[in-house]
Amino acid sequence: MKYYKEIEGKTVFYNGESIVIGDTRYLSPSEEIILQAGWLPYIPPEPTEEELLVQAKANKVAEIDAYDASLEEFTIGGQQMWLGHELRQQLKTSVEAYIATGAETVTKWFNGMEFTFPCATWLQMLAVLEVYAAEVLNTTERHKAAINALESVSEVEQYDITEGYPEVVVFTPQMLAAMNK
């Protein structure tokens, strides 16, 4: 429990140090001694509706961020993978370098698995992933804006943060073959 007193018009909180009452110093004062020294139990005020709404919105935005971070970016060969923006850009630069040297295929390893595709397929896959990532971000930002526009805690609590996200990209053999044409 926290304790406080008003000293010179300011609220001061007890810091857990020793207390002196008369000629006696109490090094580890009991609650009774703390109260006897004039400290009062601190009971925090109930939050206002506005404070509750601000906190509910912050909690919901944190949920949105956690959900956004949990989305798998794509599946290939039955393997779920995540390529962040930086890695997507590095892979694109790498594929473009292969193309510039006349290579027709590129082999890359992810999660201990080898993937070899024509250069054009890699570029199309990266384009699909970039669009997917952009749409996930757009949806995330749309949800955040919607949350910030809500006016009650119950509206915020009932808001479905999972709605509207694009389907996870699944590169099937048929899809990859179509990209190769």
Query: What is the tens place of the pLDDT at every residue in 53-77?
Result: 999 999 999 999 999 988 877 888 7
pLDDT of residue 110: 85
- Please report, in angstroms and rounded to a whole number, the separation of the first and last CA atoms in the chain: 71
**Would the CA dihedral through 31, 33, 34, 35 be positive or negative?**
positive
Q: How confident is the model at residue 175 (pLDDT cuts 50, 70, 90)?
A: confident
Q: Which amino acid is at 79?
A: Q
Element (H, E) at 121: helix 119-149
Distance of CA 40 to the CA centre of its chain: 40
- pLDDT digits 0-9 by tens, 132-163: 999 999 999 999 999 999 999 999 999 999 99
Tokens at residue 10, please?
């300011």
Least confident of 27-31, 42-46, 49-53, 110-114: 110-114
